[in-house]
Amino acid sequence: MEVGEPMQPVRHTHIRCRGNTLLYFGGCDYHRLTGHPRILAAIATGLRRYGLSMAASRCTTGNHKIYGQLEAQLARFFAAETAILTNSGYVTNLMLAQALQGEFSHVLLDERAHVSLLDAAVLLQCPVWRFAHRHVAGLTAALRRCGRRARPLVLTDGLYAGDGSIAPLAGYLKQLPQTGLLVVDDAHGAGTVGATGRGSLEAERVPPDRIVQTITLSKAFGVYGGAILAPRRVADKVRQSHLFVGSTPLPLPLAHAAITALRLLANDRRRLLRLAANTERVKARLRANGFPHCEFPGPVVPVQLRSLQANAQLKAALIARKILPPFLKYPGSPARGYFRFVISSAHTKGQLDQLTETLIPFSPLTVR
C-alpha cells in the first residue's frame, strides 16, 4: 500500500489538497472534535499544567492522576466495569490478546475483522478459525466444531468501517458458551452509535458482562489513544500484560483533552442526533435510488461502481463539484477499490445534498 496524498483540514468540513480547498467526506473525525476549540484548549492547558509525559511505565514511576481520572470517566461513559487506557486503538487489541494468552482454546474471527484483530488473534497462541462476515449461523457452526469443552474467544469489529454495518452482537452472545468471551473492536462505533454514544453494544442492546469492548480515542473523540472496556477479572489481567507493564502511557495533554472530549459528547447529545440525522439524510435518498448498503446505521456510505471508467467519471464529477473523492483500497475492501464517504455531525444539509446529488446519476454495483 502507498501512503495517501498529504492534506490539511480547513474549517471542519473541508480539506486543502494540492492547492485546492475541497468538501471533505473522509477521515474518521465523526464529530470534527480534532479542531474543536475546547479540545485544543484542553491540550494547551494539559501541557502547561502537567508537561508532556511521565517518561516511564505506569507500573514504575510513570503513573499520573490524570490517567486514573480518564479511566474513571471512560468506564462511566461506556457503563463498563473497568477501563484501561492504551496508547492507540490498534494497541488495545494487541494488549488484550497478550493478557489473555493461554486462556482460550480457539479464536473465532469474523472474516472481515480489522487487521489489528488479525494480529491479536496470532498472539493468542491457539487455533484461529474465521467465520462468515456478520453471520450468526457461521459463528454457530464454528462454535460447534470447537467441541463441548472449548473455551472460545470471538473477535469482531462492532461497527464495520467499510460500510457502516453493525455486527449482530445479540445473536453472537446467544450462541456463546459460558466459557467464551466476545471481543468487540468498536473503534468506529464508540461515540457514533447507540442512544448515548456508547457504541455497538448499546445499539445492539447487549449487556457488557461477557464482552470486552476496545475503542480508540482518535476517531469520534477527536484526540488520540485507546481504551479497553472490560469486566474487572479481564482488566486485572490486562494490567499484567507486557504492553501495559513495559510502555510509557499516552502523553498527558492528550489524556487531559480526552476527558474534555468525553464531556463534550456526554453533555450534549445533539452531536449524536445530528450525526444520525445527517447519515440518514444521505442514505435515505441513495436507498431510494438503488444504492446498496444504505440500510446500515453507521456514518459511512460505501459506493462501488461497475468499471474503472465509471470510477474515473465519478472522481471527475466530485472534483467538478469541489468534493474530495475518497477513493480507497484498504485491507478487506473491494480489490479494485471503492469510494468511502464519511458523514460527520458537522456537515450542513447543503453539503450533504451536494454529495447525494453528485452520486445519484451513477449506477452502483449492487453485489460486493
Ligand X SMILES: Cc1ncc(COP(=O)(O)O)c(C=O)c1O
- Residues that bind ligand X in the complex, under the rule CB under 6 A: 88-90, 114, 116, 157, 161, 185, 187-188, 216, 218, 226
Residue 93 beta carbon to ligand X: minimum distance, rounded to whole angstroms: 7
| DSSP structure class, residue 328 | E
Is the Cβ of residue 216 or residue 333 nearer to ligand X in the bound state? 216
Tell me how far, at minimum, the Cβ of 115 lies from ligand X, in Å: 8
Q: CA-CA distance, 365 to 55, in Å (whole number)? A: 51
Q: What residue is closest to ligand X based on CB?
A: 89
Nearer to ligand X, 30 or 150 (CB): 30
Bridge partners of residue 235, in order along the sequence: none
Place of cell 488473534: 121
At closest approach, how far in Å is the CB of 92 from ligand X?
Answer: 7
We find the least distance from the C-beta atom of residue 8 to ligand X, in angstroms, to be: 19
Q: How far is the CB of 188 from ligand X (least distance, A)?
A: 6
Judged by beta carbon, residue 212 or residue 352, the one nearer ligand X is 212
Residue 239 burial class via C-beta count within 10 angstroms: exposed 0-12, middle 13-18, buried 19 and up = middle
- Using the minimum distance from each CB to ligand X, give the nearer residue, 192 or 358: 192
Measured CA distances, 198 to 57, 194, 206 (Å):
29, 6, 11
Pick 143 or 187: Cβ nearer ligand X: 187
Cα(154)–Cα(344) distance, integer angstroms: 30
Q: How far is the CB of 13 from ligand X (least distance, A)?
A: 21
Distances (CA, A) of 69 to 72, 103, 120, 246, 334: 5, 30, 28, 21, 42
Give 189 or 325: the residue with its C-beta nearer to ligand X.
189
Q: Cα(173)–Cα(154) distance, rounded to whole angstroms?
A: 10
* Spatial CA neighbour of 297 closest among 228, 367, 215, 195: 195
